[in-house]
Structure 1
Amino acid sequence: MTPPQEKFILYPYASWFFALAILITWVGFSTTYFARLGASTVYHHIHGATAGLWIALLIVQPLLYKYGKLKLHRKLGWIASIILVPLLVLGGLKMIQMMIQRQDFYPPGEVYRLSFIDFYSLIQFLLFFGLSLYHGKCIHLHARYMACTILTLLPPAITRLLFFIPFLDTFTKTLNVSFACVEITLLILIWDDKRNGSFRKPYFFALVIFGLLHLLMNYAGGWAFWKSLMDGYAG
């Protein structure tokens, strides 16, 4: 079966860009996770494995589409919907709970800001994933929303990667720059759409969602109601 001709226009090198996301993740977590595998809990491993498998899936899916393996493309998509996505989200929720329970290992109050980012990001991931399924019959929207799910997973890795840059010497600096990197990426994608004569909503919508998180995360750690809510969640 020959795939639709439009696939040759829409991101023929998408798999390479998603592979770059794997590399960023590996380097970013090289010292905090991969170098200390034996000291990590099974929940850390499940969370890391599901996030890695999700990125790997998005490397494979464009190739399957490109070479006309649409049946396998859809099958893997539904398997991911039923198994991988729930495991990724549940693993993320467990990691948040464990982080708050172990807040003595973090700078004072930092877990509340991080838990806000993590909860927001999980909702954001599900939103982009749900929209990609809803627009499954429109490859232009489906592919763009799927790409946004990868951008949702990247800030933790980028934040750790930025610590290798000497003048980014605080967590707040690296955290803000990591989100700026995602926002710049979205602006480039919006520009690329415009350059090709079309304006599609997914990247602009994602830019608004990421921008709101970027703004709120700098204040969420001081919200009394959020601290109380997270203490209850941890308990």
Structure 2
Amino acid sequence: MTESINKIKKSKRIRFEKSGYYLAILVILMLLGFWPSYFSKFIDGTANFNSYFHFHAIMASLWITLLIIQPILIRKKKLAIHKLIGKFSYFILPLFFISVILLKHNTINGEITDDLGSSLWLQVKDLVIIGIMYTIAIVNRSNMQIHARAMIATGIVFIEPTLGRFIIFTVLPEPNFILGLAITVAFMYVLLISLIIIERKQTSGRWVFPLLLLLYIIFHYLIFFKISFPFWDAFANWFARLPIT
């Protein structure tokens, strides 16, 4: 009887060493989401992107690749290589952050609008959540239960922008940002709540996914209701005027 209960509990445990195979789905989502506006342009000869787009694409691809490779190395007991490659994250993540900042600044193109502050939440959300989760992962790198969950969380962040673009520009009859984002957010919440339910009996690290969900709820509230603050509007205006792109 006890053995049967243990098997049931074990079956409900998330196998983090297999997460690399699941995170590989991000590659498919990235291709689907950015195919109409980016990848297909290189095939039909209409690609006219500046270096900021390419820089961002490369950094995002490197981070996703890192997330896929690392769990596989753990599964294959290649711990030394896992630790060595993990050190590259100290350089890749800051460069990814810089790529997001430069691309957004270039997209704004110095235009100051009334909703500029609230429009920045979309990118700030991803940077803040990845930054928090990565910090948790590094601080707890000796605790596999927490470290693995936090690193997986940095990968989950990529689902929204990729799946969202796919839904908005491919699935919906007409591009609709709010509707597409709402559908994507609903999927994100179902995913996170499912992970929380699966994790509910774990004794270590189960707080990571609830924290991730809470952060998403806060930022999605700001985004959907277009909430901003005087200090944030001032920062947005200052950012738009910076001569960095």
The interval holding the TM-score normalised by the smaller chain is: 0.7 to 0.9
**What does the per-residue CA deviation read over 1:13-35, in whole Å, with 9 as the maximum and x for residues that have no partner?**
31221110111111101011112
Aligned residue pair count = 223
The correspondence for 1:101, drawn from 93, 97, 109, is 109
Describe how 1:1-235 pairs up with structure 2 within 5 A.
Answer: 10-37=15-42, 38-81=47-90, 83-101=91-109, 112-163=117-168, 164-166=170-172, 169-194=175-200, 197-198=201-202, 200-220=206-226, 225-235=231-241
What is the aligned-residue RMSD (CA, Å)?
Answer: 2.4
Give the 3-state SS of the residue equivalent to 1:30 in structure 2. Answer: helix
1:100 touches 1:231 (CA, 8 Å); kept in 2? no
Q: Which amino acid is the alignment partner of residue 231 of structure 1?
A: N
Query: Secondary structure of the equivalent of 2:185?
Result: helix
For the structure 1 residues 41 and 213, does the alpha-carbon distance in structure 2 shift closer, same or farther, using more than 3 Å as the test?
A: same
Q: Distance in 1 between matches of 2:22 and 2:114?
A: 35
What is the CA distance between 1:139 and its match in structure 2?
Answer: 0.7
Q: CA separation in 1, counterparts of 2:176 and 2:117?
A: 17
In structure 1, C-alpha distance between the alignment counterparts of 2:189 and 2:59, rounded to whole Å:
24
CA distance 1:174–1:102, change in 2 (3 Å): farther
The SS at the match of 1:206 is helix
2: CA distance, partners of 1:76 / 1:95: 27
Paired with 1:142 and 1:55, the residues of 2 have a C-alpha distance of 16
Q: Counterparts of 2:138 and 2:19 in 1: how far apart (Å)?
A: 19
Amino acid at match of 2:134: F
Asked whether the equivalents of residues 43 and 91 of structure 1 are also in contact (C-alpha less than 8 Å), the reply is yes
Task: Please give the alpha-carbon distance, in whole angstroms, between the structure 2 residues aligned to 1:9 and 1:33.
Answer: 34
Measured in 2, the distance between the counterparts of 1:170 and 1:221 equals 20
Q: Residue type matched to 1:57 in 2?
A: L
State the SS of the aligned residue for 1:220. coil
Deviation sequence 1:128-155 (CA, Å, 0-9, x none): 0010011111111101000110122221
Secondary structure at 2:77 match in 1:
coil
Larger Rg: 2
State the Cα distance separating 1:223 from its structure 2 match: 5.1
Distance (whole Å) between structure 1 residues aligned to residue 172 and residue 215 of structure 2: 30
Give the distance between the partners of 2:186 and 2:14, measured in 1 at CA.
Answer: 28
Shift of 1:57: 0.8
Identity %: 21
Measured after TM superposition, the shift of residue 228 of structure 1 is 3.6
Q: 1:66 to 1:206 in 2, by over 3 A?
A: same
Structure 1 gaps, min length 5: 1-5
Letter in 1 for 2:164: T
Q: In structure 1, what is the Cα distance between the partners aligned to 2:162 and 2:218? A: 20
